[in-house]
Amino acid sequence: MNPSNNSDLHNSHVLRHQRAIAGLPAMLWFLCIMVLLSLPGQSFPVVEIWKPDKIAHLLLFGMQFVLLWIALEIPVRREVLGCRPFLFSIIATLLFGILSEGYQAAFTTRMADVYDMIANAVGVGLALLLVYFFQPARILDFARIILRIRS
C-alpha cells in the first residue's frame, strides 16, 4: 500500500472528525431550541413585546447563528449551496426563526407570533454585530481552542 494513501486516508478521517466536533455545538443548540419550542405555551409566563420571552429569542437565535457559522468555518471553510459560511449561516438561521414559529403553530399547543419572528431576526442581527466587534478571526481562533481543533 502506498504510504501517501495512508496519510491521505488519515487526514480525511481527521478532517471528518474535526468537522463533526465543530458541528456538534450547533446541532445540540438546535435540539435545545426545538425542545423549548415544543413545550406547552402555558409553561411560560404571558409577556408583552420585548420582555424576557423576546430576550430568550434574541439569545437563542443569535447563538444559533454563531454556532452554525463556526461549524461551517472550522476546521476548513466550506461553502454551502454556493454561499460563504457567514452568509449561509445568516440566511439559514433567519429561515429557521421563521419556520420555528410555523412549527409551533402546527405541531404544539403554542401559537405562531410575528413578534417572536422579529426577535429571532434581531438576535441574528445583534450576534452579527458582536461577531464583527470581536473580529471573526479571533472568534474562530477561540472556537478552535475550545473545540481542540488545529488550524
* Digit-coded pLDDT (tens) for 135-146: 999 999 999 999
Return mean pLDDT, the chain: 86
**Residue 116: per-residue pLDDT:** 92
Would you say the C-alpha torsion 140, 145, 149, 151 has a positive or negative sign? positive
**Per-residue confidence band for 8, with pLDDT thresholds at 50, 70 and 90:** confident
The number of C-alpha atoms within 13 Å of 84 and in the hemisphere containing its C-beta is: 2
Within 39-84, residue ranges assigned H as helices are: 52-73
Q: For 64-76, what is the mean pLDDT? A: 93
For 23-64, write each residue's pLDDT tens digit. Answer: 888 888 889 888 887 877 665 555 555 567 889 999 999 999
**Per-residue confidence band for 150, with pLDDT thresholds at 50, 70 and 90:** confident
**Tally of CB atoms within 10 A around 84:** 15
Within 39-135, residue ranges assigned H as helices are: 52-73, 85-107, 114-134
**Rounded-to-integer distance, Cα 68 and Cα 29, Å:** 9
Q: Which stretch of 3-12, 18-27, 117-126 has the lowest confidence by average pLDDT?
A: 3-12
What the block records as the C-alpha cell of 91 is 440566511
pTM for the structure as a whole? 0.79
**Residue 32: per-residue pLDDT:** 87
CA-based nearest residue to 19, from 80, 75, 68: 75
**Rounded-to-integer distance, Cα 143 and Cα 9, Å:** 25
